[in-house]
Structure formats: structure tokens, C-alpha cells
Amino acid sequence: MRFRGGGGPGRSCSPPQRTWDVPRAAGIALDGGKAYIGQYDRGELYEVDLEAEDSTPQVVATNLGRNVRVALDGAGNAYVCDWAGSKLHEVVVADGEAKGRQHVVADGLGLDRDNGRIYVSNRQGQLLRISGVLADGSAES
């Protein structure tokens, strides 16, 4: 017999499990008790309250491209990468009137995995190099 919680000598203990349905999930970022999940081919960003018993995934933004990956900045914004369309979207995820508002902050993305760098072109005509963010890469710029 298996018990959930409590455990004790001679008893196995497993944490309670919970699942949420987000079809074609592609990327995830965590912020406190919330998860932000991108979708592979629908271009949507979902928010899930991980602590609420009866939570369901809520759409935060749509039309974000394909193969959506997610990162958070800690200031109420998600950065959603559409590698197929070579765009980086900024989406407001902080609660309030602006939640879900989005705009493209970069039009071109390139990866230099050997040196751990990402190259981004923005709408102001600049090429930016971001170092130290890819696994197994160098932290030098």
C-alpha cells in the first residue's frame, strides 16, 4: 500500500500530483506560485496558478509565433521567443490593466552556441550581443 504524505517507517511517501492541460506546450518559466507556458504551434502564452486547487490554464497573450519559449524578467514581463519567425516579444504578465499587452522587441535572433552568445537585431537597427546565457558557453563578451 502506498500513502501520500506522512510517510514514516516502512511506508513510502509520494508528493501529491497535479496536472494541467496545455496542448503542445513548448516552454515554461516559473515565478513564485505561477507558471507561464508557451505553445508549440498556436503561439499562445498561458498562465497557471500552481497553488490554487481548481486553477485552469488562462491565456495571457496570442499571436506569438511558433515554438514559443518563455523567460521572465522579475519585473512583470515575459520574453517570448519565436525562433521560427526570428522575433522576440515582450508580454506584460503582471496583474493589472496592461496584462497581456505585447510588442516585438527584436526582429532577428542568432545563436553562437560554441561561445555561449545570442545575437539580436532590434527595430532601431542595432545588433546586440548577449553573453553567458547559453549552457556550456563562455561568459566573456
Looking at the domain covering 22-106, what would its CATH class be?
mainly beta
Confidence bin at 78 (pLDDT 50/70/90): very high
With a cut of 80, say whether residue 79 has pLDDT above it: yes
pLDDT in tens, 16-75: 677 888 888 888 999 989 999 998 888 899 999 999 888 899 999 999 988 678 989 889
What's the pLDDT at 85?
A: 75
CA distance 91 to 60: 8
| Pairing relationship of beta strands 87-92 and 117-121 according to DSSP bridges | unpaired
User: pTM for the complete prediction?
Assistant: 0.70
DSSP states along 35-98:
EEEEESSS--EEEEESS-TT---EEEE----SSEEEEE-SSSEEEEEETTTTEEEEEE-SSSTT
- Over residues 101-118, mean pLDDT: 82
Considering only residues 101 and 139, tell me which one the structure prediction assigns the higher pLDDT.
Answer: 101
